Amino acid sequence: MQTIISLITIFFFANSCQNSSGTQKEKQDSISTFIKNGQDSTPDVIQLKPYQNISFEKKEVLLAAPGTKSVIFNASGTKLYAMNLEGMSVYEFEQANRKISREFKFTPTKGTGWDYNKSRPIASFQEKPVEACFSHGDSILWVSLHNADGIVPIWVNDFSKNNAVTTADQKTKPVTVIYPQTNQKDSFRVPLIETGKTPKVIARTADSKYLLVSNWHSRNTSILEMNSATSPYGKVISTIPVSAIPRGLAVDDVHGKSYIAIMGGSSIVRVDNKTWKADSTLQVWSSPRHIVMDTSGHLFVSYNSLGTIACLDANTGKQLFTAKTHAQPRTIVLSKNHKFIFVTCYSSDFVDVYKINADNFEKVASLPCPGHPVGVDVFEDDNKLEAWVCSYSNGAINVYTFKKK
């Protein structure tokens, strides 16, 4: 129990929901950590030991599934969930022993996919997990399905709530839960909530009232109002059109704003979280793919085609400083104290790590990562930081361990 409590941590701002949100101010050189109570509103507060530097210690390679697209830790850091796009499943890993404890397997049905190299539709399957987000105290895992035009909510612990019934008005998806090394299986149906064509990143507000979904080929972002008491647990209440392909999302709960990275263009759209309408457009460099936010009003952006990351002023969009990365930076994630940023560089097969100073990025490490790394999330305790990175083409998860100093 002591180990579990020492690991529990969430961010203050949402990062494609890899970072859960909160509204308290960050204390100088400390990390506020929380015990989830199922409501995301009245957590107990503990603290991890402050640190200023990290040094790389070792790398481990875990077997995942083909085409793993993204990874996300629960708030306690005890479990990591891997979205296996080509494997059409979600793997649940135990952080402590590195083993797969459960596989949430979708039943494939025919659909239309997209060939990103040749820019044309192709025959595929609907049930291909892309990204994910937790809500309601890590009770519900929301998963975007690449070719199903929507997302599904999975209650990961209380299967009795995975009780969707197919009707004329409600589509559903069957899921089988496989427990490795045993004959045990569970099965249920989850509701499909239609958002738009090719849904990608999912993010939420701190209070688990609203969910945001960026829809690649629909060129819009869906806003859902969540209700954990009644299936399908979410309803689209607004759709925000954008000028080109959207991807990354970040939520600023303190100022009531959200940000949409327009990967198909050169801008970031700012949204008013009261009206759920765009209120301004920040002009940035070309192809912003992923965005995350810290507690001091800074946005961090990966520019996929430019091989660059940047720190921006979220108010004005002004670029404060940048750094070159290896080719095709994809997912980025901040350390829990927001002093370090981890960048997966897809085509170059590297993970780049930088310390975030007041006016620059200081490179800490460039680590080889075969198989086209794409998704990353971090686990921390008082002594170490682990970056869990999924590689798309070789079905591996690479765990990079850093010592805190």
Interval 300-317 mean pLDDT: 97
- pTM reported for the whole predicted model: 0.90
**pLDDT value at position 17?**
56
Give the model confidence (pLDDT) of 136-179 as tens digits.
999 999 999 999 999 999 999 999 999 999 999 999 999 999 99
Whether 24 has a pLDDT exceeding 60, the answer reads no
Q: Report how far residue 224's alpha carbon sits from residue 74's, in angstroms, rounded to the nearest whole number.
A: 21
C-beta of residue 192 within 8 angstroms of C-beta of residue 175: no
Q: Could you report the per-residue pLDDT of 237-259, keeping only the tens digit for each?
A: 999 999 999 999 999 999 999 99
pLDDT tens digit string along 256-266?
Answer: 999 999 999 99
Neighbours of 306 (CB within 10 A): 18
**Domain boundaries, position 44:** 2-404
Query: DSSP character for 160?
Result: G
Q: What three-state secondary structure class fits 19?
A: coil
* Dist CA 307 CA 324 (whole Å): 6
Task: Give per-residue pLDDT as tens, 317-359.
Answer: 999 999 999 999 999 999 999 999 999 999 999 999 999 999 9
Residues 6 or more apart in contact with residue 373 via CB below 8 angstroms: 330, 344, 345, 346, 349, 350, 351, 389, 390, 391, 392, 398
Domain of residue 72, CATH code:
2.130.10.10
Structure tokens at 391: 């590689």
**pLDDT tops 70 at residue 40:** no
Q: Count structural domains, the chain.
A: 1
pLDDT given at position 108:
97
